[in-house]
Amino acid sequence: MSERFSMPPESIGTRHSIRPNRQAGEKSDEKYFGLSERGVELAKERAADILSSLEDSEPGTVMAFIGATEADRTKATTRVYGDEISRLVQEQERQDIRVITEDVWKSDAGVSENVQSIAREVGDNPNTKYLLTLPLQMKEFRLQERWQNSDGSWANEYAKKLFEDNNFDNQKVIETWLSSQGELGDLRGPNPAEVAEEELSGLARAKDFITKLIPNRPIRVGFVGHGPNIDALAIYLANEGKVDLDGFRKIQSRPFGETDMIDIKNDSIVLPTGEYII
């Protein structure tokens, strides 16, 4: 593993939830644009696992779910997590956990004043655990330039061939991407290890941002991303910085499904297939 990322930031992330199937006539949920009704329900289920991870964190932990992409479904998934965890905390009458959702960040006082107000509140409550949800588009987790542009067109000929030749089968797509290492004949696409390292760079940048805002607290960065980017990140961390077919087999050759979670701790990661030492 590269020296720069030998100890990745403590983080938690998921793949986005289910988007509407346009061919089947599904529409986006009115509140959470970019997700189907099934997608909203699936994200609510995952929210309970995220809350459990926060509960298991050390006292005073700030879990900041700020990483998202240009795709609406990643931001909407984050919003469901925040709203559902807020509901669960209120329902359980929890005094040790506080949730601050996007609505609070963007209230009438203005973002700048709200940020300072939130920072003061967190600072004044050193033993309270916080979940902050503010989905921000971060280039490190992007689809654009890698796989798909915002208008739905392919980002490059490699991506087009990779997905179309494999009939959009996630399993086959990832296996071909890893075996080809981003090169199919004369076509060039994203390199798996470079994608993983760029995502780790994004996590580090997000942690620095939150740490400057809220110093002297344990910080856990939260993000919602895409396959196969998140698959590359998982393999990289579980396989000593190598993103290849052997590493994929190490995590049981299982692609990330919608809302599947990666929980990055001090010296290990927890994936849908188990826990792996970093």
The domain that holds 102 is classified in CATH as 3.40.50
- Considering only residues 107 and 93, tell me which one the structure prediction assigns the higher pLDDT: 93
Q: 11: which strand partners? A: 221, 264
- Number of domains observed in the structure of the chain: 1
Neighbours of 271 (CB within 10 A): 21
Binned at pLDDT 50, 70 and 90, residue 107 comes out as confident
- Considering only residues 113 and 63, tell me which one the structure prediction assigns the higher pLDDT: 63
- Considering only residues 201 and 6, tell me which one the structure prediction assigns the higher pLDDT: 201
- Considering only residues 2 and 21, tell me which one the structure prediction assigns the higher pLDDT: 21
What 169-178 contacts at long range (C-beta under 8 Å, 24+ apart), as own/partner pairs, is 170/227, 170/228, 170/255, 171/253, 171/255, 173/228, 174/227, 174/228, 174/231, 174/248, 174/255, 175/245, 175/248, 175/253, 177/228, 178/235, 178/243, 178/244, 178/245, 178/247, 178/248
User: Is-contact 262 272, C-beta < 8 A?
Assistant: no
What pLDDT sits at residue 277? Answer: 93
32-81 pLDDT, tens digit each: 999 999 999 999 999 999 999 999 999 999 999 999 999 999 999 999 99
For the chain, what is the largest distance between any 2 Cα atoms, rounded to a whole number of angstroms? 59
Q: Is the pLDDT of residue 4 over 70?
A: no
User: What mean pLDDT is predicted for residues 100-120?
Assistant: 86
The secondary structure of residue 32, as a DSSP letter, is: S
Range of the domain at 223: 3-277
121-134 pLDDT, tens digit each: 999 999 999 999 99
What pLDDT sits at residue 110? Answer: 77
What pLDDT sits at residue 5? Answer: 47
Using CA atoms, how far residue 259 sits from 13, 44, 85, 158, 179, in Å, is 9, 10, 15, 26, 25
Query: What pTM was computed for the model?
Result: 0.95
The DSSP result for 202-266, as a single string, is HHHHHHHHHHHHS-SS-EEEEEEE-TTHHHHHHHHHHTTT--SHHHHHHTTT----TT-EEEE-S
What pLDDT sits at residue 105? Answer: 84
What pLDDT sits at residue 113? Answer: 87
User: What mean pLDDT is predicted for residues 158-186?
Assistant: 98
Burial 117-150 (b: 16+ CB within 10 A, else e): ebeeebeeeeebbbbbbbbeebebbbbeebbbee
User: What mean pLDDT is predicted for residues 212-229?
Assistant: 97
133-148 pLDDT, tens digit each: 999 999 999 999 999 9
Burial 69-93 (b: 16+ CB within 10 A, else e): bbbbbbbbbbbbbbbbbbebbeeee
